Structure 1
Amino acid sequence: MAVLRSYRRFVVVVWQFLPLVWGYLRDRRRFVLFGGKRRVTSEMRVERAQRLLDSLLTLGPTFIKLGQLLSTRPDVLPPEYVDVLSDLQDRVPPADWADARVVLEDELGPVDEAFDDFDTDAISGASLGQVYTAEVDGEPVAVKVRRPGIEDLVEADLRVIKWTLPLVVRFVGEGQAFSLQSLADEFAKTIREEMDYAREAEMLAEIRENFADDPNVVVPSVYEDYSDSRVLTMQYVSGTKISDVEELDRQGIDRSAVAETLERTYLQMIIEDGVFHADPHPGNLAVREDGAVVFYDFGMSGRVDEFVQEKIVDFYVAVANQDIDAILDALVEMGTLSPEADRATMAEVMELAIQDARGESIETYRVQQIVGKVEDTIYEFPLRLPSNLALVLRVATVVEGVCVTLDPDFDFISVATDFLTEQGYREESIKQFATQTAEQFQQSAQSAVRLPQKLDRALDRVEREDLHVRADLEDGNGVVDRLARRIVLGLVLATSVPTTALLYVTADLTATGVSAAFTGAVALALYRSFKKRRGIRTTPQFTRQSLRDRGGD
């Protein structure tokens, strides 16, 4: 029965996405079966992104969550799609109270007996659950109830995504195929975890314990006796929505200080604690009158293993020191940057990113210049996103957006540098650098002693004509393969042209026509081998720059 439902959902999903697929095929071939590529403008992408947004809303909770995740993945979608999908929120009306009550009473028993008071009007209706207010022992609480029947729908949709993915990756490059696979794995894992309220309660309690002594961070407590796998009862903590800057100003709250608290909190979660709240959009963050930041909804939360923590520290230390080579090394070691990427070009990209993070203005001509280098030198998208880092990147990008909303001139690097210095990470990196330098000096001294002996032996072999050189040619981009293909096609064309002329003089028209058709096909293949070029066709977007542009408009 579950598989049959998945088949029905597959048909519905394909029908919804068919116009977008058809448009994409026409982009690759103007008339699908033949013709050159069609030029896709930014306006066309925005229009298609809106159509994608409507399709996701039509398909329901699972695909709304997928759209929210896609909005944080610039390695998968063009920037126009990311911009449109970033506005996607849970636009699902709450389920009927009668249906929600069945779930609640299956877990906790009769509502009137479990709670002193219960407001049956939901204060929040999300894709996977909805939140009500109630009272327990005279204290206000928030009760999160999983949406009725959501488990079967999610499992059916996950099967559809699994069936569809092999078809999609056939039409994209290797880098995007990698990102799509990691995205699918991450999405299946996170949406199942988000439906498990018992896990959410555990994560919430652990994070609350980590910040128990920090007056600037507020995490609601869990009422364990009123919680289960489908119901979560928490302390109700009120506050002003973190993006409501006018109300924060009216209350006299220092928005820059709030932004600093938010970044420091996430740095501690990711670098020190290894467990973090992974959904920091403005609807899940509030500010109390004393300036403390309140965190809601821990359904999307994650853990960071020690290896990733170590590499993230290396990355942040390199950023703090503005050591571009160390930044690129850290990205390669984390698996987010291809080792074959053009380091010189990527270094310039990182310099721009650091300028942007510091709030400095970026010259348009320099951006265009670097984009030109990217298009000329990088033939596969060099940035990749392993699944164990996807949630971390989501947090980083969303937190940046929230902090810029609070303070447009907020300096992320300065705050991160101060945090790393206070925690001793920068001093450790300096000691580690000194130790590595000493080891390298020792190895260099040993090599200098051994080098004359090895050089003498090598020269002896040269004199005896016994020296062999072995060379391996790496061709990750297929340059040699394309060159060989062109040479072969050129040779075939060079012989087929005089052959066709000879047949025209000595043979009948049928043989001449066949030879001419073959010659034309070879000539066309040779022409297309020179014309075909793969590259990145995108316009880089920098958060602060785009914000200033919009503000100017």
Structure 2
Amino acid sequence: MRKNPVKQDIADVQRLQEIISILAENEASHLVKKLGLSSYMSARHRHKSEKPSPERLREVLEELGPTFIKFGQIMAQRPDLVPERYIEELEKLEDNVKAFPGEEARGIVDREIGLETFDNFTEEPVAAASIAQVHEAWLDGEKVAVKVRRPGIKDQMTTDLDLMKFMASKGEQHSEKLNKVKITKIVDEFAEWTLDELDLEKEASNAETFQRNLEDEENVKVPDVYPEHTTQKVLVMEFVNGTKCTNDERIDKLDLDRKMIAETGIRAGLKQTIRDGFFHADPHPSNFLIQEDNTFVYLDFGMMGTISPKAKDQMGLILVHALNEDIEGAMSLIRDMAHVEEDADFEGLKQDIEQKMLELRNSSLKDNSITSLMLEITVSASQKGIHMPSSFVLMGKTLLTLESVGLSVYPQFKIREEYTEMAQEMLLKNNQPKDLIQSLAIDLVQNKELISKAPSKINQTIDSINQKQRKEIIHEKASDNKKAVIIAGLLISAAIFAVNSPIPSSIITLITVTEIILAFFLMKEAL
């Protein structure tokens, strides 16, 4: 008897059937067909090809449970993948759920760290979400927030994540569109973030790193954590009060320096993305508070994004190119960063960028949003077979949220001017001449064998040429050998001098940059 290949691929067929049944019953049979799982639908749904309305899709995700709600929330951050009318509805997704009994929470806390840790622990939660809920407590006389992971949630979400990976794999096999956008990679990234979010020790570590990174921002508050009282299931943090950024009525009553708050939020966003490469990847406005002393408070560190040093610079350079209307510079970076389909339309994208930059130039101050422009370019690129990395899109959404918060507090904020100054400042800090020279020194050491053997390699090449040709180039070869030695000497001298010299950094920079420029012109002449 032939075995069902689907049953061999997954562990929980019953849950898969439940998911497909919910999708089919809610006008999503079209999606099931795209996933190549029509055989799991009833006969009456198999012949339909319905697409759910945005509102119905949101309701379906809520019915499917916390894993799918979170996936919907992430997709709401991906305008390059999801149509705008669906994004508007997905942004309404809430993972607020009924709290589990406070007695159970007490039991978990007692088993994990011991209730005797606290002077007092309040059973009634102050907030409840799909992964955890928060209780007030007092520790050594200080009010703290105790986050307790929901019982059984890890097993439930791990099962659903495995099924989502399976469905994404099927989708890539049966849908050209899902294959082009690399849906399996998107789901894999989501699964990694979600599993991290289930580990409250990881969240505590994220908060500490984030706090250290932004310690130079006087008006940014990241709650202190208590790592000695934190486990995978329980997180203890400083309890922080403040007004939600979405509470316009309350904010209007506060005597705030609105310009300072706007500057703080946007500068902190640029530092996370361009300078640190470690950013808050769950940028709901409800995750930010404003305090009466103009402090900007961050909450919830379960989902953080990380990017490489190269990607940090690319993000900053794209911002600067967009602000300076340097279309060729932006296009060059996009080519370097993106996953490109065979029939990608770069010329069409270039025309779109030109048009959008023209619109930005002529827009009002209120609509003068550079991050909106970047996300619109990302959407246009995706439609033309040019797919930007997920981290780039999430960074853009983070900046856009902080920008929106800043403008809601201070509508007169001159975004374009501030972005240009801040982005250039971050790029310069990332690329100090001494740091660049140290990188060069490391690169030269790694390739010292290649450099030292260059003259002998040239000799071997010339030896392989016939006698007549050798006479013609022997004079040129001697000159080139000298140039090669001089170039190598200049670069190595600059590197060693920058790394080891006791001379003040300003003089080091002048000397090393001069040597590099000389080497550059010699190389250019040699070529």
**Structure 1 residues 378 and 117, CA gap change in structure 2 (3 angstroms):** closer
Q: Among residues 263, 267, 272, which one is paired with 1:269 in the alignment?
A: 272
Residue 252 of structure 2: aligned partner: 249
Counterparts of 2:168 and 2:208, CA distance in 1: 36
- Runs of 5+ unmatched residues, structure 1: 28-39, 363-373, 448-553
Match of 2:221 in 1: 218
- Per-residue CA distance 1:243-302 (angstroms, 9 max, x = gap): 222322211324343222111101111222222222221111001111110011101113
**What is the Cα deviation at residue 96 of structure 1?**
1.7
Match of 2:424 among 421, 424, 436: 421
The match for 2:23 is: 17
- Paired amino acid for 1:420: A
Alignment partner of 1:77 is 2:82? yes
1:61 is matched with which residue?
66
Q: Tell me: CA distance 1:283–1:150, structure 2 relative to 1, closer, same or farther (3 Å).
A: same
Deviation at 1:340, TM superposition (A): 5.6
Aligned-residue CA RMSD (Å) = 3.7
Deviation at 1:6, TM superposition (A): 2.4
User: Deviation at 1:356?
Assistant: 6.4
Q: Secondary structure at the match of 2:387?
A: coil
Q: Distance in 2 between matches of 1:26 and 1:276?
A: 37
How far, CA to CA, are the matches of 2:344 and 2:69 in structure 1?
34
Larger radius of gyration: 1
Partner SS state of residue 181, structure 2: helix
Q: 1:271 to 1:380 in 2, by over 3 A?
A: closer
Which is further off, 271-280 or 324-333?
Answer: 271-280
Q: 1:307 to 1:288 in 2, by over 3 A?
A: same
Partners of 2:381 and 2:396 in 1: how far apart? 23
Residue 158 of structure 1: how far off its partner (Å)? 0.9
**Aligned-pair CA distance for 1:239:** 0.7
Letter in 2 for 1:147: R
5 Å matches for 1:16-55?
A: 16-18=22-24, 19-23=26-30, 48-55=53-60
Instruction: Indicate the residue corresponding to 2:447 in structure 1.
Output: none
Query: Structure 1 residues 167, 407: closer, same or farther in 2, change over 3 A?
Result: farther
| Correspondences of 1:279-428 after superposition (within 5 Å) | 279-335=282-338, 341-354=344-357, 360=363, 381-389=384-392, 391-408=394-411, 410-423=413-426, 425=428
User: Structure 2 counterpart of 1:121, which letter?
Assistant: E
The verdict on how the C-alpha distance between 1:380 and 1:269 changes in structure 2, with shifts beyond 3 A counting, is closer
Query: Aligned partners of 2:314, 2:122: CA distance in 1, in Å?
Result: 47
- Give the CA deviation at 1:52: 1.2
Q: Quote the Cα distance in structure 1 between the aligned partners of 2:196 and 2:21.
A: 29
Describe the SS at the equivalent of 1:415.
Answer: helix
Residue by residue over 1:382-418, the C-alpha shift from the partner in whole angstroms, topping out at 9 and shown as x without a partner, is: 3424344454244234334434433456444322211
Counterpart residue identity of residue 21, structure 2:
W
- Residue identity over aligned pairs, in percent, reads 30
What CA distance in whole angstroms lies between the structure 1 residues aligned with 2:430 and 2:202?
Answer: 37
| Distance in 2 separating the partners of 1:263 and 1:316 | 13
* Contact 2:217/2:268, CA 8 A, preserved across alignment: no
Equivalent residue, structure 2, for 1:98: 103
1:90-142 deviations in Å (ceiling 9; x for gaps): 13121122332232222112x2x121122211111111111111111111111
Deviation at 1:73, TM superposition (A): 1.3
Q: Is the 8 A contact 2:264 2:296 kept in 1?
A: yes
1:435-455 superposed Cα distances (whole Å, 9 cap, x missing partner): 9999998788667xxxxxxxx
TM-score normalised by L of structure 1: 0.67
Q: How far apart are 1:169 and its partner, in Å?
A: 2.7
Between the aligned partners of 2:362 and 2:231, the Cα distance in structure 1 is 45
Distance across 2 between alignment mates of 1:378 and 1:135: 52
